[in-house]
Amino acid sequence: MDAGSPQNRDTWGSKTAFILAAAGSAIGLGNIWGFPTQAGMNGGAAFLVIYLIAVALIGAPVMLAELMIGRHTMRNPIGAFKMLAPGRSWWLIGAMGVFAGVIILSFYSVLAGWTMAYIVKAATGAFTVGVDTEAMFADISARPLSAISWHLAFIVLTIFVVVGGVRDGIERWTKVLMPVLLVLLLLLAVRAVTLPGARTGLEFYLKPDFSAVNFRVVLAAVGQAFFSLSLGMGAMITYGSYLSKKDELVTSAAWVTGLDTFIAFLAGLIIFPTMFATGFDASVQGPSMVFVVLPSLLAAMPPQPYGGLIFGTGFFILLGIAALTSSISLLEVGVTWAVDEKKWPRKKAAILLGSIAFLVGIPSALANGAVDWLTNVPGVGMDFLTLLFTIFGSFALIVGACFISLFVGWKWGVTAAGDEARASDGRFRLEGIWRVLIRFVCPTALLIILIQTLLQTF
């Protein structure tokens, strides 16, 4: 067999296992940290509406398209494009995905490292009513040694799981813990919306005011949708490549998209009422917002004085695991490529690519106040972490998704792609709508957004 042979490939144990693993990739800091942060900076309810439209019209069809490419080729993102378009440059989309995966992992792990530090804080009783959560956050993220050590610890954990492989590594973790996270989030949402003073927050989040909407808001919403759904960089191609030929594609894609979106929505329902009820000012922005607001809600959970200990520890353990099931997918894209095409042992690939992500992530770890000029990169006006997030966590994903929709819509073709769905699903429901979305709506919308962004940046 040729390079990237699908022979002897591991597959997910069942359709449910796949849905949970793919939802595990999608659900992560992007939902709990990214979504409320972006919504907070971009107008609240108006952002939510645009986000939901972006998920339905662009996110969902691209999700299905990536799964089709992956399952059909049973290859890594680079090998997949090489197989479907031999001798052409389409494989560069896959290459960009592998690259973006490592870079996203580099800063993702910094944020996830903070999450791990919070587990220790909460478990040692630091979450008490009235505690200064800004000082707590600074203690974790602004001390160089703390930030870098937690970043390292998280990368090591990610490598460890990825070395274990698909079935024993990734699948085992996600099956039990994702449902528990959902229940805990529901509980917190109920608590948050019943806080005295929650109303202003709910209005901010649910009563749209479109007067402030501009292209920046649309760009942020679309970028956030791709980041949250793990699209545009080959993660879903990779996960789809491990999907059995028997398992249904369309319902899987719908479940993953729906679960991810619901959890992001819940996170907003938790953050905004809490933020307004506890008097945090909406200008506590950027990556720190959620990490400062959430602990104050957790600390005040009943039964006092143990609420902070119980809910704080539980919440951050689950958030850490949600982050882990996402970070392994970021690393897995490159590892699958190195194993398939370069014939590296899985272990070597995971350690090497993980180490690169660790090193690249050091400036991001130092950006939150630990090193001054990184806190506001000269000439750019954002910190290093936000800069990487903007370029690789948003812009690159939009570029990737634009090419993926062009590829499936026009090069590989909707009929061939549709056959892949029909092979397992029997009937491909909503095929007509999907064809229009992937051929016309997605590429056009994404091109307009990209051109607008470039025009506004330069």
Binding site for ligand PHE (CB under 6 A): 25-26, 28-31, 104, 227-228, 230, 233, 235, 326, 329-330
Dist. CA 146–CA 136, nearest whole Å: 12
Dist. CA 247–CA 254, nearest whole Å: 13
Q: Which residue is nearest to ligand PHE (CB)?
A: 30
Q: Is the dihedral of CA 69, 163, 24, 251 positive or negative?
A: positive
| DSSP three-state, residue 238 | helix
With tokens 């769905």, the residue in question is: 421
Shortest distance, position 357 Cβ to ligand PHE, whole Å: 13
Cis bond upstream, residue 77 (ω within 30): no
CA dihedral 53, 58, 61, 67 (to 10 degrees): -120
Closest alpha carbon to 334 in 103, 86, 87:
103
Shortest distance, position 173 Cβ to ligand PHE, whole Å: 15
Q: Is the dihedral of CA 132, 135, 140, 145 positive or negative?
A: negative
Cβ atoms 35, 264 nearer than 8 A: yes
Terminal Cα distance for the chain, rounded = 48
Cβ atoms < 10 Å from Cβ of 391: 12
CA dihedral 246, 250, 253, 258 (to 10 degrees): -130
DSSP H helical segments within 278-392, as ranges?
A: 288-299, 307, 313-341, 346-366, 372-375, 384-390
Q: Is 101 exposed, middle or buried (0-12, 13-18, 19+ CB in 10 A)?
A: buried
Residue closer to ligand PHE, measured from CB, 25 or 42? 25
Shortest distance, position 342 Cβ to ligand PHE, whole Å: 21
Dist. CA 107–CA 141, nearest whole Å: 13
Shortest distance, position 407 Cβ to ligand PHE, whole Å: 18
Specify the amino acid at residue 193: V
Dist. CA 406–CA 266, nearest whole Å: 33
Residue closer to ligand PHE, measured from CB, 150 or 276? 150
DSSP H helical segments within 367-441, as ranges?
A: 372-375, 384-390, 396-406, 414-425, 431-436
Q: Is 384 exposed, middle or buried (0-12, 13-18, 19+ CB in 10 A)?
A: buried
